[in-house]
Amino acid sequence: MTDLLALVVQQSINGIYLGCLYVMVALGLTLIYGVLNQINFAHADFVTVGAFAAFFTVTRLGTKLLGLPDTAAYLLSMVTALGVGAGLGLAINAAVFAPLRERGDELRPLIATIGVSVLLENFQLWLFGPIPFQFDSPFSRETIRIGRIFFTAQSVLVVAVSAVSIAALYAFMKFTFLGKALRAVAQDRETAGLMGINPNLLIALTIVIASALAGMGGALLGPVLVLTPFAGATVIVKSFAIVIIGGFGNVQGTIIAGLLVGVIEAFTVQYLGSGLIDLVVFVLLLVMLVVRPTGLIAERKEENV
Alpha-carbon torsion angle 282, 137, 251, 256, nearest 10: 50
Cα–Cα distance measured from residue 260 to residue 248, given in angstroms and rounded to the nearest whole number: 16
152 in helix, strand or coil? strand
Domains of the chain: 3-304 (1.10.3470)
pLDDT digits (tens, 9 = 90+) for 236-260: 888 888 998 888 778 888 999 999 9
The pLDDT-based confidence of 149 (bands split at 50, 70, 90) is confident
Q: Distance between CA atoms of 126 and 136, rounded to whole angstroms? A: 23
CA distance 35 to 38: 8
Q: In whole angstroms, what is the distance from residue 208 CA to residue 205 CA? A: 5
Q: For residues 295 and 111, what is the distance between their CA atoms, to the nearest angstrom?
A: 25
| pLDDT level of residue 168 (50, 70, 90 thresholds) | very high
Rounded to whole angstroms, the Cα distance separating 240 from 269 reads 21
Residues 6+ apart with CB under 8 A from 290: none
Give the span between the Cα atoms of 62 and 71, in whole angstroms: 10
State what percent of residues in the chain have pLDDT above 70.
96
Least Cα distance to 155 among 164, 144, 167, 166 occurs for 144
Average pLDDT over residues 218-230: 88
pLDDT at 300: 56
- pLDDT tens across 284-303, in order? 889 888 888 887 876 554 45
Beta-strand relationship, 143-146 and 149-152: antiparallel
Give 25-66 pLDDT, tens digit per residue: 999 999 888 888 888 889 999 999 999 999 999 888 877 777
Residue 82: predicted pLDDT = 95
| CA atoms of 161 and 174, how far apart (whole Å) | 20
